[in-house]
Structure 1
Amino acid sequence: MAPSPWVRTCVDSLAAAGAVKPGLRALDLACGGGRHALYLASLGYSVHAVDKNTPETEWPANVQFECMDLEQPDWPLTGQKYDLIVVTNYLHRPHFENLLANLKSEHAVLVYETFMDGNAKFGSPRSPDFLLQPGELLSRLSGLTILRFEQGLRGTTSPAMIQRAMGITGAWSEIQSGTITLTQRD
């Protein structure tokens, strides 16, 4: 399966800024089948892919897959630091701050995309536990410099209500995209 267009757009903007270098460390959180881990590995990242289920994926040498429960009381990635973290279609609020602590202190990037309130009319997830509230992702990422943000109806691929953001640690820098996109979808 191909990477999410959102992830590809965000990571391509990093590459265009010269911020993608072989050996940088990336985390694909709740990686599922590994589509983003494989994409990041193809760009030269050293990827740590984690999920509660072990996918039937052939991993290249620069991907380390680890089966782990991300929703246990203690955060299993404490002390790990990454240059890039990618999260799609996953939300577990109790460890959100822990995840942000896994970003390196300067110029680390978080690319996040998941479902929001209103998605029940399109399918799962339907539970409020797994749906962001309007503006919630921006609020949770308030410690980052936001480079891109969108929320609302995703009409391409399969319709869904989504929120997605790209943010960096530290001050605005050369790791910025060509433009900042702060939009509210209808």
Structure 2
Amino acid sequence: MNDRQPSPWLLRQAHRFKPAGRILDLACGSGRHSRWLAAQGYRVLAVDRDPEALAGLAGVPGVETRQLDLEGEGWPLDGLEFDGVLVTNYLYRPRLDALVQLLAPGGILIYETFMVGHEAFGRPSRPDFLLQPGELLELARQHGLFVAGFEQGETGAPARVQRLCASRDALGTGQQL
């Protein structure tokens, strides 16, 4: 997964976000997705624990940044709502349910990260950072989300990933699990 270009999964699914909606880019890293989303007219909250990564987003129109500990005792995003939540290359299972709760009515979750089998290609290789087969589908099922897209397996780049696009409400093309 290229560190400069937006994820092809995001590019294929972003049209589902509400136009000019408020999007959370969780664990945004260098902000490649935040920049792209803001350029498309979305209002982006870019969140990461690394202040140096967030500093690269300073002054980008349409992007607000917050340095937050996403794995600490308290959930720093509690009570907020977003039209979209984007997560790429990040997994912290204790917060998966909380991510779904951040979705406003009609909100879209776009999630893409590494899964079991990726350890053959390099990092991450610890099971804590690798999704189990179908794990994102199970998350959607548990929360009654409508699934618009799901993929898992090897990609063109040497990686093994899982991808989900799901909505709190019917998308017209998805199915509720």
* Alignment TM-score > 0.5, same fold: yes
Q: How many residues align?
A: 167
Residue in 1 that maps onto 2:44 = 47
Q: AA paired with 1:94? A: P
Q: AA paired with 1:172? A: L
Instruction: Please tell me whether residue 95 in structure 1 is matched to residue 92 in structure 2.
Output: no
Taking the TM superposition and a 5 Å limit, the aligned residue runs for 1:71-150 are 71-104=71-104, 106-142=105-141, 143-150=144-151
Superposition TM-score, scaled by structure 1 size: 0.85
| Root-mean-square deviation (Å) | 1.6
Q: AA paired with 1:70? A: L
CA distance in structure 1 between the aligned counterparts of 2:48 and 2:152, rounded to whole angstroms: 25
Moved over 4 A (4+): none
Deviation at 1:73, TM superposition (A): 1.8
- Give the alignment partner of residue 35 of structure 2, picking from 35, 38, 48: 38
Asked if the contact 1:85/1:111 (under 8 Å) is kept, the reply is yes
Deviation at 1:149, TM superposition (A): 0.2
**2:46 match: secondary structure:** strand
Taking the TM superposition and a 5 Å limit, the aligned residue runs for 1:53-68 are 53-54=50-51, 55=53, 56-58=55-57, 59-68=59-68
Q: AA paired with 2:48? A: D
Identity of aligned residues (%): 44
Superposition TM-score, scaled by structure 2 size: 0.89
Asked if the contact 1:20/1:43 (under 8 Å) is kept, the reply is no
**1:83 match: secondary structure:** strand
Deviation at 1:20, TM superposition (A): 4.1
CA distance in structure 2 between the aligned counterparts of 1:20 and 1:74, rounded to whole angstroms: 29
Q: AA paired with 1:109? A: I
CA distance in structure 1 between the aligned counterparts of 2:170 and 2:26, rounded to whole angstroms: 25
Residue in 2 that maps onto 1:184 = none
Asked if the contact 1:48/1:63 (under 8 Å) is kept, the reply is yes
How big is each residue's C-alpha offset from its partner over 1:148-178, in whole Å with a ceiling of 9 and x where there is no partner?
A: 00000112xx3111000100112334xx5xx
Asked if the contact 1:27/1:84 (under 8 Å) is kept, the reply is yes
Asked if the contact 1:117/1:161 (under 8 Å) is kept, the reply is yes
CA distance in structure 1 between the aligned counterparts of 2:103 and 2:119, rounded to whole angstroms: 31
